[in-house]
Chain A
Amino acid sequence: MGWTRKDLLAMRELDASEILLLVDTAATLQEIAGREIKKVPALRGKTIVNLFYENSTRTRTSFEIAGKWLSADVVNFSASGSSASKGESFIDTAKNIAAMSPDVVVVRHSSAGAAQLLARSLPCSIVNAGDGSHEHPTQALLDLLTIREHKKSFEGLSVAIVGDIAHSRVARSNIHGMRKLGMTVTVAGPPTLIPPFVQELGVKVAYRLEDAIRDVDVIMMLRLQHERMTAGLIPSLREYSRYWGLTLDKLRMQARPDVLIMHPGPVNRGIELSPEVADGPYSVILDQVAKGVAVRMAVLFMLAGSKGVQA
Chain B
Amino acid sequence: MTTGPRLREKAQVLDDAALDRALTRIAHEILERNGGAKDLAFVGLRTRGVTLARRLAARLAAIDGTSVSVGTLDITLYRDDLDMRGAPVVRGTDIPFSIKNKTVVLVDDVLFTGRTIRAALDALIDLGRPNMIQLAILIDRGHRELPIRPDFIGKNLPTSRRESVAVRLREHDGEDRVVIEEPEEA
Closest to B100 in A: A36
User: Is A115 at the interface (CB under 8 A from chain B)?
Assistant: no
Compute how far the CA of A28 lies from the CA of B77 in the bound complex, rounded to whole angstroms.
11
**Chain A residues, CB < 8 A from B77:** 40-42, 70, 301
Known A28-B92, A41-B122; 16 more pairs at CB < 8 Å: A2-B87, A28-B74, A29-B90, A29-B92, A31-B93, A31-B94, A40-B77, A40-B126, A42-B77, A298-B90, A301-B88, A301-B90, A305-B82, A306-B85, A307-B82, A309-B86
Inter-chain CB contacts under 8 Å: number? 60
**Chain B residues, CB < 8 A from A40:** 77-78, 123, 126
The answer on a CB contact under 8 Å between A306 and B87 is: yes
The answer on a CB contact under 8 Å between B87 and A42 is: no
User: Is B127 at the interface (CB under 8 A from chain A)?
Assistant: yes
Q: In the complex, what's the smallest C-beta–C-beta distance from B6 to chain A, in angstroms?
A: 20
Checking A3, A36, A301 against B128 with a beta-carbon cut-off of 8 angstroms, the contacting residue is A36
**Chain B residues, CB < 8 A from A36:** 127-128
Known: A2-B1, A25-B90. A308 touches B85 (CB 8 A): yes
Checking B83, B91, B123, B127 against A28 with a beta-carbon cut-off of 8 angstroms, the contacting residue is B91
**Chain A residues, CB < 8 A from B127:** 35-37
Closest to B84 in A: A308
Compute how far the CA of A31 lies from the CA of B77 in the bound complex, rounded to whole angstroms.
13
Compute how far the CA of A36 lies from the CA of B94 in the bound complex, rounded to whole angstroms.
15
Q: In the complex, what's the smallest C-beta–C-beta distance from A132 to chain B, in angstroms?
A: 30
Give the interface SS of chain B, mostly helix, strand, loop or mixed.
loop
Compute how far the CA of A272 lies from the CA of B74 in the bound complex, rounded to whole angstroms.
43
**Chain B residues, CB < 8 A from A308:** 83-86
The answer on a CB contact under 8 Å between A309 and B78 is: no
**Chain A residues, CB < 8 A from B85:** 306, 308
Q: In the complex, what's the smallest C-beta–C-beta distance from A8 to chain B, in angstroms?
A: 13
User: Is B17 at the interface (CB under 8 A from chain A)?
Assistant: no
Compute how far the CA of A250 lies from the CA of B74 in the bound complex, rounded to whole angstroms.
46
Chain B interface (Cβ < 8 Å from any Cβ of A): 1, 74, 76-78, 82-94, 122-123, 126-128
Closest to A2 in B: B87
Checking B88, B93, B123, B128 against A305 with a beta-carbon cut-off of 8 angstroms, the contacting residue is B88
The answer on a CB contact under 8 Å between B83 and A307 is: yes
Checking A3, A39, A309 against B126 with a beta-carbon cut-off of 8 angstroms, the contacting residue is A39
**Chain B residues, CB < 8 A from A37:** 126-127
Compute how far the CA of A28 lies from the CA of B94 in the bound complex, rounded to whole angstroms.
9
Known: A2-B1, A42-B77. A31 touches B92 (CB 8 A): yes
Give per-residue flags for A15-40: 1 if the beta carbon is below 8 A from chain B beta carbons, else 0.
Answer: 00000010001011101000111011
The answer on a CB contact under 8 Å between A3 and B78 is: no
Which size bracket describes the interface of A in this complex?
Answer: 20 to 34
Closest to B98 in A: A36
User: Is A4 at the interface (CB under 8 A from chain B)?
Assistant: yes
Compute how far the CA of A31 lies from the CA of B96 in the bound complex, rounded to whole angstroms.
11
Closest to A5 in B: B87
Compute how far the CA of A307 lies from the CA of B89 in the bound complex, rounded to whole angstroms.
14
The answer on a CB contact under 8 Å between B90 and A306 is: no
Compute how far the CA of A152 lies from the CA of B140 in the bound complex, rounded to whole angstroms.
41
Q: In the complex, what's the smallest C-beta–C-beta distance from A142 to chain B, in angstroms?
A: 17
**Chain A residues, CB < 8 A from B93:** 31
9 closest A-B pairs by CB? A2-B87, A28-B92, A42-B77, A40-B77, A3-B87, A307-B83, A25-B90, A28-B90, A306-B87
Q: In the complex, what's the smallest C-beta–C-beta distance from A65 to chain B, in angstroms?
A: 16
The answer on a CB contact under 8 Å between A42 and B78 is: yes
Q: In the complex, what's the smallest C-beta–C-beta distance from A96 to chain B, in angstroms?
A: 26
**Chain B residues, CB < 8 A from A70:** 77
**Chain A residues, CB < 8 A from B122:** 41
User: Is A302 at the interface (CB under 8 A from chain B)?
Assistant: yes
